[in-house]
Structure 1
């Protein structure tokens, strides 16, 4: 029915990507060809750093493939990867509703990412829209600055032309500098005007006075630029081809140190079935993963136990949603690494 919550809906393997949603969240942090996080840290002024943060924020938006979706992570599933000096750890901290927590740190750059995501997909007849609730924090510890932002929503449209796009408003705020930004993501219209396809527009402004400092315009899958309203100068701040080309696949550096909860381990048999197009193997393997989770739930309920995340503390936020805090100050190096 239109408006129905789809969080408990299970796709058959034929419509699954051979990866978990946790891996997709992690990739948004570590899978990038240029070190845009370091650029955030190296800006000499608050304005330069804020523009770099906006560019990095846009870089986390990746094209979605219509017709297929990643696996829904199981409770306690993790994804732990290192890319250079950046160590990333993601954990599924709740199953119903599905809540994922991410912690990434770079001790050399002295920066930290803390994310908490919980998508709420709903069916609207000709489309599905997944509102990605929760917040993202980027902490530039050398500068004592924390940048807080939300995520755009994923819109999957069946008619008149099938497609998947990111839409909605993203607000980025830094309380310490008093700067803020508003980004508006739009998909193409029914007429499919080329300039509007995957467009992002917005502004950077002073929170106290609402004075606009920069205007933002472009396409998040191509290039985005800012215009300094004081002098009219344009600067390209994001080039998708440079940022997302030549990406390397993570590889296992130390098999003995890979946790059994790692996404690639949990879903290995399912992924093998999908990649070999052995759909019966994929279906049976996915059924086994899901049944194991039901069995663990029954065991906890029979003992009166409540599941507790290993790497995060989780609570309800003041806004009525979910929030997470990492238990460790720094994410340790991972046994899975991205070759540089």
Structure 2
């Protein structure tokens, strides 16, 4: 299909699913590629000035249905969804191709011009809102978006030049002392990077770009946002922006240049492993600070997400894609894995059960609760990608009573290390010697882009040894999906999990159900446990983050209220006693900068850590020295813990 044909208005009749009572109803649809709008009317002769519904296709996902050959769904960036049905497969493909082409054109155009998406009111389907906004709505065409794109390109060139200027100033020596003059341009070696006038020059450059970016943002908002003439707010005059922006940016930048550079330089990675200290737990204290970021800053940075999405394709591997710091949750993937053991009492109870059936049930109960224990938010945020050699250690104390009736604390220890960077592999080891429980895993993560979602697959070997019974449980993890990444992303688990114990012959299968476009509940999970003869001994059903019911063959039931289970805080060494490559200390400055909403500073420090990692890897390759893990050694394709 030619580009000229794609830019022509396309219209036709489709079935639209309205509700359960009325079901599918014929509606007349008009697709306008120039404005990126899909509108529908009751019939072809209805007044074109008042559509029954309108949706903007920028950032939209068009999904053909797997249930038949004629249905498809239009999922807008604002959360609206149209379930549509064509007369046959050919007509559906025609609509899908055109809708996807228009969606891609406007998503790319908006991402290049860097504006926010039109607010939800712009897409209102209520007649009262439609009539009120009809006279005040401003339609932004592709020609206008192309003009914004050209301005953005010029700003990008200016930003590159400003960056080169800043780097040139920072490369000057910091020890010499001399006054600034015209000679610095002829003899740059005579100046220092801390000269007052050079700092002013650097700050003014940044302030000017800030001013121009704000002016462009105001112009974009005037073109893309609905104009409310009844608003009592007085619009900001463009003539008043430059002086205010320059003054504010200059004051803030001059005061932050030196501290920011110093913080980055002070975080240069140490020797290969750093000082990890002793392996005893006497220095471990209850974690009294959260490294996670509670605020969510997506709405004010939505344009950045759009720009990233414009360069992605479905199925694209996101392993090496640098994502913005405002979507990070303030902890490493290694610490996230440790948080899955925040219900340690359920973990140690596996070894207390006397029969294989009860041990399998206890294992399943711990397994189903660990995912909720590892998640702290209802929305999805991304952990830091661990660097090669990064470690995380912690432990939990579980109150217990021994055979003589005396109270004691059972210790569960956790150790994890990033043992490979390409591909990214995290090795972990969990043990409870008092209960003879030993868990080992080599986890390889792979993420991919699938339209409006990001999927993460966890591949690897997971083994839990219960040595007191000579049993070993082999299992895997479900896939995780970050849904609605352009609005408020949320986590969903999906896929089938198999759990096997060859010594006892017991096995379990668990299915994490994903919510379909056509309804259903989120976070659903179901499964069953079988004995060595293949007979079902129990079934389970519920939600992995709320409540699960287990029904046994004898008719008895057990409810596991996951949401109400108490979280046991992990214990770890204080930050001052941690090694340079331990997760909390390694990412401490990045986390603090994100908490303070200093995203540029956080990005700079994070990039410096990753840059130092690449330098270390390059040096190892040049001298032919392999990476040596602190806690693990490789056997075949798996990593095995070095028992002391």
Q: Provide TM-score, normalisation by structure 2.
A: 0.47
Aligned residue number for residue 220 of structure 1: 544
Aligned residue number for residue 240 of structure 1: 562
| Cα displacement string for residues 112-160 of structure 1 (whole angstroms, at most 9, x for unaligned residues) | 1111111111112232211110122111111111111000000122389
| Cα displacement string for residues 284-339 of structure 1 (whole angstroms, at most 9, x for unaligned residues) | 1101101110110121111111212121112444xxxxx2210115xxxxxxxxxx
- Detail structure 1 runs of 4+ shifted over 6 Å in the superposition: none
Distance 2:641 2:418 in 1: 13
Establish whether residue 5 from structure 1 lines up as the match of residue 311 from structure 2: no
Q: Which runs of no fewer than 5 residues in structure 1 stay unpaired? A: 318-322, 330-340
How many Å apart are 1:210 and its aligned residue? 2.3
Larger CA Rg, structure 1 vs 2: 2
Aligned residue number for residue 206 of structure 1: 531
SS of the equivalent of 1:134 reads strand
SS of the equivalent of 1:190 reads coil
| Cα displacement string for residues 6-59 of structure 1 (whole angstroms, at most 9, x for unaligned residues) | 111121211111110010011112x22x60012111112111111000011112
Kindly report which structure 2 residues correspond to 1:19-30, keeping only aligned pairs within 5 A, or say none.
Answer: 19-29=331-341
Establish whether residue 277 from structure 1 lines up as the match of residue 597 from structure 2: yes
* Higher normalized contact order (CA 8 Å, seq sep 6+, divided by chain length): 1
SS of the equivalent of 1:277 reads coil
Residues 547 and 561 in structure 2, CA contact (< 8 A), matched pair in contact too: yes
SS of the equivalent of 2:339 reads helix
Greater share of residues in helix: 2
How many Å apart are 1:182 and its aligned residue? 0.1
Distance 2:592 2:485 in 1: 33
Distance 1:173 1:89 in 2: 24
Residues 135 and 151 in structure 1, CA contact (< 8 A), matched pair in contact too: no
Residues 395 and 570 in structure 2, CA contact (< 8 A), matched pair in contact too: no
Aligned residue number for residue 179 of structure 1: 506
CA-based RMSD: 2.0
Residues 454 and 485 in structure 2, CA contact (< 8 A), matched pair in contact too: no
Establish whether residue 289 from structure 1 lines up as the match of residue 609 from structure 2: yes
How many Å apart are 1:80 and its aligned residue? 0.5
Residues 394 and 570 in structure 2, CA contact (< 8 A), matched pair in contact too: no
Aligned residue number for residue 127 of structure 1: 453
Distance 1:246 1:287 in 2: 33
- Could you tell which deviates more after superposition, 155-164 or 298-307? 155-164
351, 354, 358: which is aligned to 1:48? 358
Kindly report which structure 2 residues correspond to 1:1-340, keeping only aligned pairs within 5 A, or say none.
Answer: 1-29=313-341, 31-32=342-343, 35-62=345-372, 63=375, 66-84=379-397, 85-158=411-484, 162-193=489-520, 196-207=521-532, 209-229=533-553, 231-236=554-559, 238-243=560-565, 245-248=566-569, 250=571, 252-253=573-574, 255-256=576-577, 258-317=578-637, 323-328=638-643
SS of the equivalent of 1:227 reads strand
Residues 214 and 227 in structure 1, CA contact (< 8 A), matched pair in contact too: yes
Q: Which runs of no fewer than 5 residues in structure 2 stay unpaired? A: 1-312, 398-410
SS of the equivalent of 1:138 reads strand
Aligned residue number for residue 334 of structure 1: none
How many Å apart are 1:239 and its aligned residue? 2.1
Residues 77 and 91 in structure 1, CA contact (< 8 A), matched pair in contact too: yes
Distance 1:185 1:297 in 2: 38
Aligned residue number for residue 104 of structure 2: none
SS of the equivalent of 1:173 reads strand
Residues 540 and 549 in structure 2, CA contact (< 8 A), matched pair in contact too: yes
Distance 1:328 1:79 in 2: 17
